Amino acid sequence: MNLPAGDTPPRRLAAGDAAAMQALEAACFSLPWSREQCRAAFDQQAFVAYGLEEAGVLQGYISLYRAADELEVLNLAVLPAVRRRGLGERLLRTALQEAEKTGINRALLEVRTGNAPAIALYEKCGFVRVGKRPRYYADTGEDALIYQCDLVPQD
């Protein structure tokens, strides 16, 4: 996988980035993680997050959870003002590349059925729909689509 061109490569985030992550969550999601949830996630060995900054401000981030040979994409958030510039793709491709280097074979994620831009991004990056969770999202009752990306070709 190749990353789209960009000025600054994503960097691995740490617990000290929790406040910036939470601000981004609040700007992007109807059910954002709290600052404490963001900070506590870093206490889990399987948790990893990457972020993109501009002028010291977190513009987007992706959070992930590694379990055995699988990677679960927890959140992918990009500030509304800087969407459609390839930041989400850079974050996702970085996460997949780094996962592949560590022996991860497959990535999974859930996405709201109404989130067409995210679905298009995931499909562009090699994810395929493998299932659906009816009425998954508590705030709207919307279904979640389950997507999978095989990082290692399956026999």
pLDDT tens figures, 113-147: 999 999 999 999 999 999 999 999 888 889 999 99
The answer on pLDDT for 1 being more than 60 is no
Note whether residue 4 is domain-resident.
no
Give a yes or no: residue 69 inside a domain: yes
- Is 5 part of any domain? no
Backbone angles phi, psi at 92, to 5 degrees: -65, -45
Q: Which of 72, 98, 100, 110 is catalytic?
A: 110
Per-residue pLDDT, 138: 83
pLDDT score at 152 = 81
Q: Give the mean pLDDT of 76-93.
A: 95
Q: How far is CA 57 from CA 21, 51, 53, 61, in A?
A: 10, 10, 5, 11
Summarised one tens digit per residue, pLDDT across range 30-83 is 889 999 999 999 999 999 999 999 888 999 999 999 998 999 999 999 999 999
Specify if 114 maps to a domain.
yes
* Per-residue pLDDT at 4 exceeds 50: no
54 lies in some domain: yes
Give domain status of residue 81, yes or no.
Answer: yes
Contact (Cβ atoms closer than 8 angstroms) between residue 128 and residue 148:
yes
CA angle 87, 18, 112 (to 5 degrees): 50
Q: Mean pLDDT, to the nearest integer, of 1-28?
A: 83
Q: How confident is the model at residue 155 (pLDDT cuts 50, 70, 90)?
A: low
Q: Flag whether 1 is in a domain.
A: no
Q: What is the CATH number of the domain that holds 107?
A: 3.40.630.30
- Annotation says 110 is catalytic: yes
From 50, 61, 122, 147, active-site residue: 122
User: What are the strands of the beta sheet with 11-12, ordered from one edge?
Assistant: 11-12, 47-54, 57-67, 70-78, 106-112, 144-150, 128-133
Boundaries of domain holding 21 = 11-150
Rounded to 5 degrees, what are φ and ψ at 121?
A: -60, -50
35 assigned to some structural domain:
yes
List, in order, residues 6 or more apart from 13 with CB less than 8 Å away. 21, 42, 49, 50, 51, 61
When divided into structural domains, the chain yields a total of 1
pLDDT of residue 8: 79
Q: Side-chain half-sphere of 104: how many Cα atoms within 13 Å? A: 24
pLDDT at 3: 42
122 is catalytic: yes
